[in-house]
Structure 1
Amino acid sequence: MKKILVIALLLMMSLGVFAGCENNKETSGDSFSDIKERGYIVMGLDDTFAPMGFRDDSGDIVGFDVDLAKEAFGKMDLELKLQPIDWSMKETELNSGNIDLIWNGYTITEERQEKVSFTNPYLANRQVIITLKDSGINSKKKLEDKKVAAQMGSSSVDAINNFPDLVSSFDGGEPIVFDTNNEAFMDLEAGRVDAVVADEILARYYISKRGKEKFNVADEDFGKEEYGIGLRKEDKEFLKELNSTLDELKKSNKGQEISRKWFGENILR
């Protein structure tokens, strides 16, 4: 009886290991076939990042990237489901399988390329310095002894930290980080910080809504960059399909129409 129990136990353990290997194989492979089979895609985004993805007055998530994604996945016969996430946890959300991709003004950086695969770029951007109109801040050097704000987990923080000597000269010796860009801009307007570093696309949109007469964008910036869409490293087929669809959309009248709707001109690249 003991021998039978031992054999049975060993058999169960071996089956468990085999099943574990099989499950791991399924979850670590390209997920595009599974996405097509279920018929929908889950897109992770920061729902405060206007005009790329944000909530309108009715609470609906709208934006340039949202419109572009709807069009792209419509061409793939996939329903788009939007999943707001903590932007500082975006790569974790992606690689744990909670979302299928990151598409929301997602800047391509070397550090992020180690964690995700990016599509071809579709927009150009800069990291700009925004201040109140009469601040006198028009360059990076003028940020010495100033309180400088940015969004936590954003490429703005990465861009700032590329200048460690400058950062050490800030009031507090580091940038002040907020969960959202909106919170950073609110503190700027209230005079609690002296400058905000943010994506130019977001900054220009925010300024246009809050009043151009209130703000100044410095001549000098923290660098140029490009936006891409982030996928899991193993999703090679998905990446190929999305690149093809995105390239087609950038050349189409619909893609240009979406760009003009949000920016007044075609800025797709």
Structure 2
Amino acid sequence: MKIFKKVMALVLVVGMTLGLSACGNSSKSSDAASKNDDSVLVVGFDQNFPPFGYKNKKGKFVGFDIEAAKACAKEMGVDIKLQPIDWDSKDMELESGTIDCIWNGFTINGREKKYTWTEPYMNNYQVFVVKSDSGINTIADLKDKNVEVQKESSAETAINDDKDLKASFAQYTSVADYNTAMMDLDSGAADAIAMDYFVALDQTKGKDQFKILDEKLSQEQYAVGFEKGNTKLRDQVQKAMKKMVKDGTYAKLSEKYFGENVVVLSAD
């Protein structure tokens, strides 16, 4: 009887150990699969960044880059998941595998070695938006003024790189998104906002109380960014993007959102 009990105890221990081991392996496999699902392209984007990515009145995600990403996924033969992210958390989202790429007016310049990039698809500039009656007409006029930028944006990088310009401001503030910045500008809490040119065009469209300064802060290019070293997915996406240039998809999207073809990516 004692021998029987010992044998049964041993069987139970072995069974529990194997069960736990199997559960552990299953969990790890599931995690790995969720981060490397070749049938879904998970696109990270800022949902407060019109005209590249934003929510329309119906609560649907739309925008130039959103539509381009959808067309790209279709060309690749995969599903797409649109994942809104906090822009200042984009690196963490990419490194953790929550998203596969960052596709939302994402500037290469200054970040060349930090990510794996597609070829550029758009040229862009950093500009200042001010009130039309502010008396501010040049960048030099921003001396002793309150200036805002989006946190972790290219505009923030450009200003931080120009120490003399930054030191000339009375106050320099980073905010979460450009909608907040525009409200501050409208209320008088800010005198100027540094932002992407095409975003500035969208934010000031039909609003005569605002204007974009002619003088540019910096020039740059947009591309799709992937985790450093992920050339496999980059190559797949870039191949599909080039097909979109060749078949006219990109030209149609560009005309829709900007009134002209601003895409610089070649079909070759």
In which range does the TM-score fall when normalised by the shorter chain?
A: 0.7 to 0.9
Match of 1:155 in 2: 154
SS of structure 1 residue aligned to 2:103: strand
Q: Is 1:59 paired with 2:59?
A: yes
Query: How far 1:162 moved relative to its partner?
Result: 1.6
Match of 2:145 in 1: 146
Query: How far 1:177 moved relative to its partner?
Result: 1.0
Query: How far 1:250 moved relative to its partner?
Result: 2.1
Larger Rg: 2
% same residue: 36
Q: Do the aligned residues in 2 keep the contact of 1:51 with 1:262 (CA within 8 Å)?
A: yes
SS of structure 2 residue aligned to 1:107: coil
Query: How far 1:169 moved relative to its partner?
Result: 1.5
Alignment match of 1:260 (pick from 232, 241, 255)? 255
Supply the distance in 1 between the matched residues of 2:232 and 2:45 (Cα, whole angstroms).
22
Supply the distance in 1 between the matched residues of 2:41 and 2:248 (Cα, whole angstroms).
24
Query: How far 1:155 moved relative to its partner?
Result: 0.5
SS of structure 2 residue aligned to 1:262: helix
Q: Is 1:191 paired with 2:188?
A: yes
User: Unmatched 5+ residue regions in structure 2?
Assistant: 1-16
Deviations 1:111-167 (A, max 9, x none): x23321111000111101110001121222111100001101101100111210111
Match of 1:6 in 2: none
- TM-score, length basis structure 2: 0.84
Q: Is 1:208 paired with 2:234?
A: no
Alignment match of 1:229 (pick from 214, 224, 230)? 224
- What pairs with 1:123-142 in structure 2 (closer than 5 Å)? 123-142=122-141
- TM-score, length basis structure 1: 0.83
Q: Do the aligned residues in 2 keep the contact of 1:91 with 1:115 (CA within 8 Å)?
A: no
Query: How far 1:207 moved relative to its partner?
Result: 0.8
SS of structure 1 residue aligned to 2:217: strand
Q: CA RMSD in A?
A: 2.0
Query: How far 1:35 moved relative to its partner?
Result: 3.1
Q: Do the aligned residues in 2 keep the contact of 1:116 with 1:233 (CA within 8 Å)?
A: yes
Match of 1:49 in 2: 49
Supply the distance in 2 between the matched residues of 1:118 and 1:136 (Cα, whole angstroms).
40
SS of structure 1 residue aligned to 2:262: coil
Q: Which amino acid aligns with 1:126?
A: Y
SS of structure 2 residue aligned to 1:73: helix
Supply the distance in 2 between the matched residues of 1:140 and 1:262 (Cα, whole angstroms).
28
Q: What count of residue pairs does the alignment treat as equivalent?
A: 238
Supply the distance in 2 between the matched residues of 1:247 and 1:157 (Cα, whole angstroms).
31
Query: How far 1:109 moved relative to its partner?
Result: 2.3
Q: Which amino acid aligns with 1:202?
A: V
Q: Is 1:109 paired with 2:106?
A: no
User: Unmatched 5+ residue regions in structure 1?
Assistant: 1-11
Q: 4+ runs of 1 displaced by more than 2 Å?
A: 112-115
